[in-house]
Structure 1
């Protein structure tokens, strides 16, 4: 049976590729973007199978309205893909209040508003799948992306808690955690801070790392994994995407566990004289 899929940020990058893949195989898509004209190509090609909606995800009321329109048009919503967001490149010290708030509004609060809007729909259906496009940088960090890291760490905590809260309603939650890909995320879609010279060495090292051949994945290759996740009866809570993500996360978590173990006596002492129940 075809699915009804609500996806944000559908005008380019991952969102456009995934939306077209869904439509090609016969799914119905509620596609949103800040600029609805950017969705014209999908509408011309797939007609009534796609419902284009202009949406600024930072507007909570607009998020609820968009979900209501999608449900009214197709009768249900099976999958929500919170894909909208952008990157901020620069040292933490360099970021302005406006830049930080704008990034958190788009990457975290926009995702939260749509999640809140979709839960009652899926709870009533007793079925649904919420897919949050996070990042492997919601699990590990890189210098010069600290504010972006913070937004994705917030998405991770929210979504893991959400998973345990809604599974009794038949709602599944999956965090997609890509490493870098050859999309516009690091291009015109991204913002940069005003540089402070002391960070120029780190800035150059970050640039060189990102330009390493093979460091960024092919976004077209993500289509089949996304279809697999949407169709799977028991999808994972987390899925790393790309060959960089897994070894980076593995090394980081091994280091965390080793540090926790090395300081366990101090951790236990901090509990006081209370004994854990048998």
Structure 2
């Protein structure tokens, strides 16, 4: 059955790719971008099934207005995909206040405002699926991505809580956690801090590990995303790519071992 899907950050990358796949199979799509002209090709090709909206997700009032307009246009919103976001590259010490705040505004608060806006619609319908595009680094961390890591950790905590709160309304929540893919996330859309020479060795070591095989093929994610939105019992978390699960498994095994080694001290700190 065709669905009505609202997706942000659709000007390029995963957003553009997935929006086109939804339209190709007959879904109705509301796609947003800061510059809606980047969506003209989809509007031209898919006509009435495609609604392109200009949206800066950092603007809470505009987020609510966009969701309202989508509901008025198509009558329902079955799926919200919060895909808008960008990567901030640089050490924690290098990061300015403005850079830190802007990273959280887009990656976390924009997602929060759209989630809040769509919830009354989905509650009234008695069904819905909110898909948050997180990252492997919402579960583990990499150096020189501190604020990006933090924004995705925040998305993970928010969305896991949300899933428990809205399950009774027939609303599902899924965190999609890609590893690295060959989109322009680390290219034109990325922001870089002003470099400090003290952190060059850390950056060099990080970049040396980012070999070509680490980057997945973006088009290969489409079948997984289509299966996800069609699932009657979607998972809370879904990795995209072959590197996410092994990296997270290794990291969590290390955490459990460390927690276990300190468990006696932890228990004693309870006091009774």
Instruction: Give a deviation string over 1:50-87, Cα, whole Å, max 9, x none.
Output: 00000000000000000000000000000000000000
Residue aligning to 1:185: 185
Q: How does 1:134-149 map to 2 (within 5 A)?
A: 134-149=134-149
Q: CA deviation at 1:207?
A: 1.9
Q: Distance in 1 between matches of 2:240 and 2:107?
A: 18
Q: How does 1:15-34 map to 2 (within 5 A)?
A: 15-34=15-34
Residue aligning to 1:276: none
Residue aligning to 2:197: 197
Q: CA deviation at 1:209?
A: 1.8
Q: CA deviation at 1:135?
A: 0.2
Q: What TM-score do the two structures reach when normalised by structure 2?
A: 0.99
Residue 4 (structure 2) pairs with residue 4 (structure 1)? yes
Unaligned runs of 5+ in 2: none
Q: Distance in 2 between matches of 1:205 and 1:55?
A: 37
Deviation >3 Å, runs of 4+: none
Residue aligning to 1:233: 232
Q: CA deviation at 1:213?
A: 2.4
Q: Distance in 2 between matches of 1:101 and 1:169?
A: 33
Residue aligning to 1:222: 221
Q: Distance in 2 between matches of 1:55 and 1:206?
A: 34
Q: Distance in 1 between matches of 2:204 and 2:264?
A: 41
Aligned residues: 272
Q: SS of the counterpart of 1:185? A: coil
Residue aligning to 1:48: 48
Instruction: Give a deviation string over 1:191-224, Cα, whole Å, max 9, x none.
Output: 00111101101111222222x1211100000000
Q: What TM-score do the two structures reach when normalised by structure 1?
A: 0.97
Q: SS of the counterpart of 2:57? A: coil
Q: Distance in 1 between matches of 2:260 and 2:205?
A: 32
Q: Distance in 1 between matches of 2:14 and 2:98?
A: 26
Instruction: Give a deviation string over 1:100-121, Cα, whole Å, max 9, x none.
Output: 0111000000000000000000
Q: Distance in 1 between matches of 2:196 and 2:220?
A: 37
Cα-Cα RMSD: 0.6
Residue aligning to 1:111: 111
Q: Distance in 1 between matches of 2:208 and 2:83?
A: 27
Q: How does 1:1-278 map to 2 (within 5 A)?
A: 1-210=1-210, 212-273=211-272
Q: Distance in 2 between matches of 1:179 and 1:200?
A: 24
Instruction: Give a deviation string over 1:204-259, Cα, whole Å, max 9, x none.
Output: 1222222x121110000000000010000001000011111111100000011111
Q: Distance in 2 between matches of 1:204 and 1:262?
A: 33
Unaligned runs of 5+ in 1: 274-278
